[in-house]
Amino acid sequence: MNRFYGILFLWLLNSIVMACQVEDDAGHLITLPHPAKRIISLAPDLTELLFAAGANDHIVGVMKGSDFPKEAKNIPIVANFNDIDVERVLVLHPDLIVVWAEGGILHQLKNSDVPIYVSHQHHLRDIPYTLERLGCLAGTEKIANKNAKQFVQRYHYLQKKYSTQKTESVFYEMWPKPLVTITKASWINEVITLCGGKNIFADLPGVAPEINLEAVIRANPAVIIGGKNKNNWGETWKAWPELSAVKHHAVFSMDDDFLQRAGPRILEGAQKMCALLEESRLQQF
């Protein structure tokens, strides 16, 4: 009996000491004895996710470009996409660093003694899971789990509403010069599918391949969508009136950040894209 109580005591003690244990997207096990109170966020997407997970008061440093929500603009910048100010990071005494798997700074942290959570969302379903894990690490599970649940509910609502709609062929212009699009390896492709669209370049290799204008003309998409943040976007396509998208006034623009950041706002972008595809369907009658 004493042995039983001894094991039970050790189990309870371990549960208390080990506040959170999660596996990141690189397969590393992150164990924190207590919730992280000084977090460095090394991607604008991750800053948005940390805010949505309820950890906004715990963030002490961010990557350049972390501009949403607006409160994120007041947090010290410690890195850009390719470089990190390691000395400044150390001065901030972080107890957790959250970093995007791709980019030029992850290798600069390899000798760090600070726990590092590596994030790499491939699919929309990864976003609520990331919210839950960040909430665990920051000790804000209640907020994180609530927002994760709302994300899943909103996703299923859009899926139910648009999955049976007429399929529209879509060209998504990620960048105009050089002309860059996305493939099925991108979560944006998943948004297009969610809205009842079909990405004309889904089967190309890679994630964001460079293409030429002739390839778009040959594919003749019903809808063209590009970024509202790019100067004079859409003017190029007016020179090709024979394109179905141009002929039916289905050349649309959207705020890049809603789709190109793997954060909770992506479903706002999805709602907007679904509405644009629905508008295109109506314009064809």
Give the pLDDT of residue 18. Answer: 55
Domain ranges of the chain: 2-149, 164-283
Domains 2-149 and 164-283 share a fold: yes
Give one DSSP letter per residue of 83-120, joined into a string: -B-HHHHHHT--SEEEEESSSSSGGGGTT--S-EEEE-
| 280 touches 223 (CB < 8 A) | yes
Q: Which numeric CATH code is attached to 2-149?
A: 3.40.50.1980
Residue tagged 């207590």 (tokens): 34
Q: What is the pTM of this model?
A: 0.86
Please report, as a single letter, which amino acid is at residue 2. N
Give the pLDDT of residue 2. Answer: 54
Question: Residue 93 class from Cβ within 10 Å (0-12 exposed, 13-18 middle, 19+ buried)?
Answer: exposed
> How far apart (Å, rounded) are the C-alpha atoms in residues 169 and 257?
22
Q: What is the mean pLDDT of each run of 10 residues along the chain (285 residues)?
A: 50 56 95 97 96 98 95 96 89 95 79 91 93 98 98 95 91 92 94 96 95 96 84 77 93 89 93 94 74
> How far apart (Å, rounded) are the C-alpha atoms in residues 136 and 153?
21
Q: Quick one: fold of 164-283?
A: Rossmann fold (3.40.50)
> How far apart (Å, rounded) are the C-alpha atoms in residues 52 and 244?
39
Q: Which two tokens stand for residue 253?
A: 């623009």
Q: Which two tokens stand for residue 243?
A: 């394109």
| 173 touches 181 (CB < 8 A) | yes
